[in-house]
Amino acid sequence: MDPMVTVAQGQLRGHEKDGVRSFLGIPYADEPFGERRFAAPAPARAWSGIREATEFGATAPKPGYAPPIDALLPDPQVAGQGCLNLNVWTPQDAADLPVLVWIHGGAFVNGSGAVPIYDGTAFARDGVACVSINYRLGVDGFGAVTDAVPNRGLLDQVAALTWVRDNIAQFGGDPARVTIAGESAGAMSIGTLLSMPLAEGLFRRAILQSGAGHHTLTPATAERVIADVAHRLGVEPTASGLGSVPVADLVAAQAAVSESILTAPDPARWAEITVNLMAFEPIVDGDIVPQRPIDAIVGGASADIEVLVGSNLDEHALFLVPNGFAAMVDENLLRSMLPALGADAATLIDTYRSDRPDATPGELMTAIYTDWFFRLPAVRLAEARSALGLDTHSYEFAWRSPQFDGALGACHALEIGFTFDNLADPQGRPMTGNHPPQALADSMHAAWVSFIREGRPGWPPYGAERNVMRFDETNALVSDPRPAERSVWAGIR
């Protein structure tokens, strides 16, 4: 018999397989279109009868990944306006289980909770109620629309967490033991949620994979982005102006703006986006996001939250290897690109080359940009919390994919299949190759489950020793990995 659950909005019928129950496409907020376009999320409407919850719900409007990334990161698109939905996996006869809420990545313009590798079956198998959510993306979620509430995508995440608090017990989860986790833009969202008064009390623990508290936009920069989008469409940058445009046209315009920034970066116009590389990010609006998240965390925000944070060894290889750019980088191009990061190019190159004497210019670029974009924000978050006496656990994922003749390395997003213990999914093979090490997935997934249950992943906190668990074919606890490369960014990043 199919499992049934009653939530605040009505009855749901899910699916059960091998002792795991799934309920998919559950609305946590009203459809964000029509009169609700560019508004804060409103509670989901009640329904009569039994709602089928056996298929993923609509995904937020998005452009999709461009080649060649689209072959490496599956990102299903499901049509419909009810995109503010979530999915729940629990074991049979669940009660008082710890809860994991997964916030997807995708540079704030792509992704959804329906991505195959986010299937929560393994977490449910191991006694965790797993939830994945959708939230508004791009202009709809993060555009600085003139007469609209800002940071709508973050407000969606808060609405989803509120729904989880109010309803997860019906699925067997404990609302007092919620861990939020995410990767890339999902982790950057979590770094922001750690700083937001509206999110207080909605979660107990946080896992940040390849993202932390540095990636935000000022209102002025965000307003220039939305003005460019509106100009391309021939409308005003208001809710009525942008809302009058077909959704597909709006998504195409936002993608065109993003592409124009990448191909012709202009620091005088685009400011932080020229190095952040994302046209849509959380906006430090002074209210919903009171200040840059890392600054709030340094000041003690979310001191009651237990945190696990880390990054991958070769994050930027995902963006530089499949498209062939890394192979084209020479010494002159490398030196010309680095000053935008705020550090002396010669000093950076000398520091990173000392640990990599045989590295090509493209490999040095990968290492340097990986640190600036992903590793250093994770380090600063761990440092800030450690300075306040707060236990924070840190990791580094170092297993190198054999793909692209090994050049893909331990790239961005590669660790997700290991933490979800979903290596068997064939859609992950373009990144992992055909024989990823299951033993590594066993150890990483077990560490994540332990942290979700108890706040302890199985190694000492970062602390004065700068402890970092390195996950590889053989795992090892490392004290202050690559200290010279960390130190070269002092006062810069």
Query: Which positions are catalytic?
Result: 184, 315, 412
What Rg, from alpha-carbon coordinates, does the chain have? 22
The per-residue DSSP string of 334-356 comes to: HHHHGGGGTS-HHHHHHHHHHH-
Q: What is the DSSP string of 87-131?
A: EEEEETT--SEEEEEEE--STTTS--TT-GGG--HHHHHTT-EEE
Angle at CA of residue 264, ends 262 and 265, nearest 5°: 70
Backbone angles phi, psi at 112, to 5 degrees: -170, 170
CB 335 within 8 A of CB 349: yes
- Residue 168 per-residue DSSP state: G
**The token pair that represents 338 in the structure block:** 């680095």
Taking Cα atoms as reference points, which of 79, 98, 81, 82 lies closest to residue 90? 98
Distance from first CA to last CA of the chain, Å, rounded?
55
State residue 241 phi and psi, 5-degree precision: -65, -55
Q: Which residue has the tokens 């990995």?
A: 481
Three-state DSSP at 319 gives helix
Q: How far apart are CA 21 and CA 227, in angstroms?
A: 46
Please report, as a single letter, which amino acid is at residue 115.
V
